[in-house]
Structure 1
């Protein structure tokens, strides 16, 4: 998986694309007989977990932001987040006559033209389209650069003048011209009960709160829908899969307010599914839903933070499967232990192995974070190899992906646009598919961990 950074390729000026470095990299990958998942990364590198370097969005775009800082996501105190552009400018021609969506589309067109040989040879098999911070379809509601610390609920990011005007128009259209954006939702590191908006039976449950949350989440889905539609047009006919990433916001998931999800743009409550509408939107573009935090377990979290990574993963993957789309996933943190691998295995094939044919529920693929010296450490790599073997149900390597159901058909055009009623229907909660906690795909248990630590201890003594 390779981030194809907007800030590198179009750094010199509008439509001045330089793909030289990426062509060199792709040639190396091709010589190694590997495949590429390319991420169209329209966000900044730096400021998120695992970012080792700083790559801002193009300087000429930041220059426009010096004159009009409302092109960036903004919180209620006026703090700007420069890691990506606000969805408020998706259709505003502020960038030398182009809108943000047109810039993203032009970038992808240039990628297809410049990488046509790699696409035709099927070196590139996935195109994941960046839709927000860290490439995820969400608002940057919990930025460490502005002082957020886990498990803060974050803040709504809709106070730039473009989104404010959009909300005002929407409120007028429903006959409530006096409704304003929330000013009582707390600060980045607040808890739900400390705010008027999220505390029990308060603003988020009122007509005004429900209208705002519907508008806020629909803007995010519309943003994803528009850009995925452009990606579908650009890569139409290519033998690739399109994908989009959804964030695994698991803290406060077990609180009735689901506050952190709401500030990020996921209108998910106990009686309202905020993720299945996203899956339904992706289904119209024949795209994969890529979800994170697959390795996390509830028992590893602090009870006071009301985290629910296991239930969240089940909800999101179940929503994808019900919408008949492929789902993929990745771990959120670098982990090298059996417990993390076993949790990934459980989520990748929740009902274990079907001896009589393909399993009923199976993820399309897993992205493992990340290749590092720690992973290649002797013991870590040994456990990782066992994990990979278990991911393939103990089968030997198969070089021909078509033999296990992953042939790449030419990408088809997106289906017709979804109506508001279609998306509203998808919010109706449904029980997740049953997860088999007794799956027989385990990498190894506590006894194996004990012996590993025992051997390490003996080795250190002998040295």
Structure 2
């Protein structure tokens, strides 16, 4: 009887990983209080039986001194401490700023030399219709534009991952580092920064489209002209961060989003996001090929306004998901092409967790994504 029970436990075993504090390596590139961390991890392993930890590996810390000047010293110290305790590591390639999102208690910006480029060319950042910039992640519009000491954004991310592989080769080979989650946007998620608290967004606002930098504007106009509609332009009627869908021309019932121009825009907007993920995960796959590592990407669970016909909050984030249009299948298909794991952010939520006005349906959303 006991043997059968133990076999069932093994069959249903799910590894448990604990997220390390965001500032476990601080902005000065030093491990914060390693003695306390070691004590806490020992206790978690002994008393809770955890298998390992998940940790952000901040671009803004590692390449802070200049192009290709990588300093992995603190992370090597941290990772070897974790390895000594017999724990595994899920490493997040964090190409975004820490600070300005839910749960961010420290601030770690993207590298200063990259931000210096933004001082003279602010269009490297995501931009809303009013021209407000979001400095937490570089715009998809510069993915393939060599603005950063001769490199494109994709090349910078690729070089960073290559350097990580070279410097952590012993830990990868030893099976200590088991997963690489590739950051693909704000908060490390494959999405646009459509609901930034730093710009006054409050739940359950619709958010705003983030494609008004000059690079994405040009891309859209070229795409529209190629489709035979040079007169089409980016939305002007999609409202502001905290509007309700029915208050806008774009998201109201039978609004712009169901017009031919609206459908074209939403297809372009969501496809840009998927191609962005495809490119960077493609680089990661080449870099980590042949190694015993899982690749993963994080997709945000935009559960509010899911029960509104327009799914406005999902649309502004780049997920073209409607009642009769599955916006997650193309993302899953792209991930599966790279043998990637889809990490989803609202698995634990219930429909009753939010007020009725939020039109929130996390359980239905999770079921759709599954």
Alignment TM-score, normalising by the size of structure 2: 0.85
Counterpart residue number, 1:125: 178
Check if 1:20 corresponds to 2:73: yes
Counterpart residue number, 1:142: 195
Counterpart residue number, 2:276: 223
Counterpart residue number, 2:245: 192
1:2: Cα distance to partner?
A: 0.5
Counterpart residue number, 2:364: 311
Check if 1:241 corresponds to 2:291: no
Check if 1:84 corresponds to 2:137: yes
Counterpart residue number, 1:105: 158
**RMSD across aligned C-alpha pairs, in angstroms?**
0.4
| 3-state SS of paired residue (2:180) | strand
Deviations 1:224-245 (A, max 9, x none): 0000000000000110000000
Superposed, 1:172-183 pairs within 5 Å as: 172-183=225-236
Counterpart residue number, 1:210: 263
| 3-state SS of paired residue (1:128) | strand
Deviations 1:239-276 (A, max 9, x none): 00000000010000000000000000000000000001
Check if 1:53 corresponds to 2:106: yes
Check if 1:156 corresponds to 2:209: yes
| 3-state SS of paired residue (1:181) | coil
Counterpart residue number, 1:384: none
Aligned residues: 317
Check if 1:40 corresponds to 2:89: no
Identify the match of residue 250 of structure 1 among 283, 299, 303.
303
Q: For the residues of structure 2 that align with 1:296 and 1:108, how far apart are their CA atoms?
A: 33
Q: For the residues of structure 1 that align with 2:85 and 2:112, how far apart are their CA atoms?
A: 34
Superposed, 1:51-450 pairs within 5 Å as: 51-317=104-370
Listed as ranges, the gaps of 5+ residues in structure 2 are 1-53
Q: For the residues of structure 2 that align with 1:84 and 1:210, how far apart are their CA atoms?
A: 26
Q: Which is higher, the Rg of structure 1 or of structure 2?
A: 1
Q: For the residues of structure 2 that align with 1:182 and 1:47, how far apart are their CA atoms?
A: 26
Deviations 1:280-334 (A, max 9, x none): 00011011000011111111211111000000011112xxxxxxxxxxxxxxxxx
Deviations 1:397-450 (A, max 9, x none): xxxxxxxxxxxxxxxxxxxxxxxxxxxxxxxxxxxxxxxxxxxxxxxxxxxxxx
Deviations 1:49-71 (A, max 9, x none): 11110000000000000000000
Check if 1:8 corresponds to 2:86: no
**Off by >4 Å, runs of 4+ in structure 1:** none
Listed as ranges, the gaps of 5+ residues in structure 1 are 318-463
Counterpart residue number, 2:23: none
| 3-state SS of paired residue (1:84) | strand
| 3-state SS of paired residue (2:91) | strand
Q: For the residues of structure 1 that align with 2:368 and 2:246, how far apart are their CA atoms?
A: 24
Counterpart residue number, 2:15: none
Q: For the residues of structure 1 that align with 2:346 and 2:327, how far apart are their CA atoms?
A: 17
Q: For the residues of structure 1 that align with 2:168 and 2:99, how far apart are their CA atoms?
A: 26
Deviations 1:194-249 (A, max 9, x none): 00000000100000000000000000000000000000000001100000000010
1:163: Cα distance to partner?
A: 0.2
Q: For the residues of structure 1 that align with 2:273 and 2:311, how far apart are their CA atoms?
A: 17
Q: For the residues of structure 2 that align with 1:264 and 1:280, how far apart are their CA atoms?
A: 19
Q: For the residues of structure 2 that align with 1:108 and 1:9, how far apart are their CA atoms?
A: 11
Q: For the residues of structure 1 that align with 2:150 and 2:171, how far apart are their CA atoms?
A: 31
1:127: Cα distance to partner?
A: 0.2
Q: For the residues of structure 1 that align with 2:99 and 2:354, how far apart are their CA atoms?
A: 26
| 3-state SS of paired residue (2:273) | helix
Counterpart residue number, 2:25: none
